[in-house]
Amino acid sequence: MTATSGVEKNAILLFGRWSKPRSTGLFGQTWGVTVLGGVLLLVWVILVSITQSLWVGGSAFLIESGLLVPLVWHREGVTGLEWMVRRVQYRWAFWRKETDFSGGVFGKTPGFGMPPGILGNVEQYEYELRNGDRWGMNHLRAKDHFAVVLDVTPRGQEGFDQWQANQWVAGHGDLLARLGTTNGAIGMTVTVESVPEFGQRVKAEARRIHSPAAPEFALEHLASTVTDRSGGTVRAEVRVCFIFIRPRGAKTVLDVAKQIGSQLSTLIAATKKAGVDAVPMTGGEISMLVARAYRPELTAAIEGLTQQGRTDVIAWDQAGPRGARNNWDHYLHNGFRSVTWEMATPPESAVPSDNLKPLLIPRATLPCKRVTVVYRIHRAGEAKKMVNADFREALADEQSKSGVASASATIRRENTQAARVEQAHGAGLTRFGMLVTLTTPKDDDLAEITPELEGLGDEASIMLQRCWGDSDAAFAGGIGVGILLPEYASGHLAVFE
């Protein structure tokens, strides 16, 4: 870090210039929509020329408009056609009874209590590093992905200088850039979860530091602290998950684990530069957090087991719910109801590093809240092609309009140009998104609770969009144990973007 003056070192940095890749066609539409519109227009002209019938021309015009309008109309960043496909897929799954899950001993799913959906096709393994730390690895067999979860202790809420925060943010960027060069790494998730506090952790700490020889006033203060903090509070837990594909030459799961294990210490050291202390989670700890997500009624019991060091009590095939149902607008599981939002658009302007603070801090009114930021890594060669293609599309978009170009087109061209320069200087290119999940008891009034969370998104300058029809998959992806939802997506019409 170069030496600068005190004012420059403590300057509040702003971050932005994110953009969504988009092909450029005519009249502000994408290239796919432009080509389809041209084909439909040509078909209409041929029909009218051959038939010379006003009735045929009018009918063809109405039919082709019905095909084109759903592609042109957008709502919250999703085209009308995608809404239609999503609704049809949900109704088809509902008709086939795929929206209901029955687990447990007498359930329809094999296993004692396997998690539903994507997580039901996961095999869990556990290994040991050279320093003796055990670490669990999830094998998501559907896509042959492998995931490692780290329990992290972030810094930032205590007093610190702005230059220190700037260094942590730079370390976070370096971590993402390092993943772009790490063999097999394809993504990373960062999850900040609000968990109700039942006092088990405070009581365990009090027992650890208690001394009968201490002064009476000190013992009274310790007892009052335990009483005051034994309930009614919410704490934050943070974890990082690294996702890998099968490295070249790795034939067995053990071969994969050896390669990931050899890189794990380097990644942990990189997270430390980002301002967090990371420790690998064991297989039992990963299973516990999955069980707590699907069965929130076990939160107090899991907290007690954790403080007793009994983190291997729950196995992966016991982490699922007894029953679950994917409704169009929410997810029911074990008597609780969860709603998941995705980030529709990022902040439109540059923001400081603590922009997400309103969403992340624990709140007593939202005791079960989970925010997961998903990063999908581009390789260096792929990133170079993408930034050049994005710049060409943005330049074409700016030049395609007659007269003075719109401000949004100019900003997009400037952002893509800046990305080209930064990538040429060694910066990485990363796709990112966000999932926000709110869990409440089934009888709570969601209509009163959800506006508060959506307001926090507005406060963070992020447009949150409800996950309609795929609440079960969005819920699983937000837990942060290795699922990259875009890899499992269906009904996504990328040709029209």
Query: By C-alpha distance, which of 155, 191, 425, 401 is closest to 272?
Result: 155
pLDDT value, residue 59:
80
Q: How far apart (Å, rounded) are the C-alpha atoms in residues 249 and 298?
A: 42
**Confidence label for 224 from pLDDT (cuts 50, 70 and 90):** low
Average pLDDT of span 333-354: 88
**pLDDT of 491:** 53
Q: What is the dihedral of CA 333, 338, 342, 344, to 10 degrees?
A: 130
Instruction: Give the pLDDT confidence score for residue 423 in this predicted structure.
Output: 67
What six digits make up the tokens of 229? Answer: 């903090």
Does the pLDDT at position 230 exceed 60? Answer: no
Tell me the average pLDDT of the chain. 80
The predicted structure's pLDDT at residue 255: 92
Predicted local distance difference test score (pLDDT) of residue 279? 92
The residue behind tokens 């990259």 is 484
Rounded to an integer, the average pLDDT of 234-257 is 91
pLDDT digit string, tens, across residues 7-55? 477 788 878 777 766 655 555 566 566 666 677 778 777 877 888 777 8
- Residue 192's closest CA among 372, 460, 3? 372
Q: Find the mean pLDDT for residues 176-183.
A: 84
Q: What percent of the chain has pLDDT over 70?
A: 76
Where along the chain do its domains lie?
A: 73-378+428-496
Candidate ranges 75-84, 229-238, 275-284, 372-381; pick with highest mean pLDDT? 275-284
Per the CB < 8 A criterion, the answer to whether 154 and 140 are in contact is: no
Look at 180 and 292; give whichever has higher pLDDT: 292
Is the model's pLDDT at 401 over the cut of 70?
no
**Statement: residue 355 has pLDDT above 60:** yes
User: What average pLDDT does the segment 312-337 reach?
Assistant: 91
For the chain, how big is the Rg over CA atoms in Å?
A: 26
The pLDDT value recorded for residue 256 is 93
Tokens in use for 270?
Answer: 């990189």
For residue 381 the two structure tokens come to: 């060669």
| Tokens linked to 392 | 């060409």
Q: What is the mean pLDDT of residues 469-487?
A: 92
- Given a cut of 60, whether residue 186 has pLDDT beyond it is yes
Closest by CA to 196, choosing from 292, 276, 315, is 292
Each residue of 74-127: pLDDT tens digit?
666 677 667 777 888 888 888 988 888 887 665 565 556 889 989 989 999 999
> Is residue 150 a contact partner of residue 268, using CB atoms and an 8 Å limit?
yes
Structure tokens at 206: 């009090």
CA dihedral 35, 36, 40, 41 (to 10 degrees): -30
Residue 445 has pLDDT above 50, yes or no: yes
Ranked by mean pLDDT, which of 56-60, 156-160, 253-257, 342-346 comes out on top? 253-257
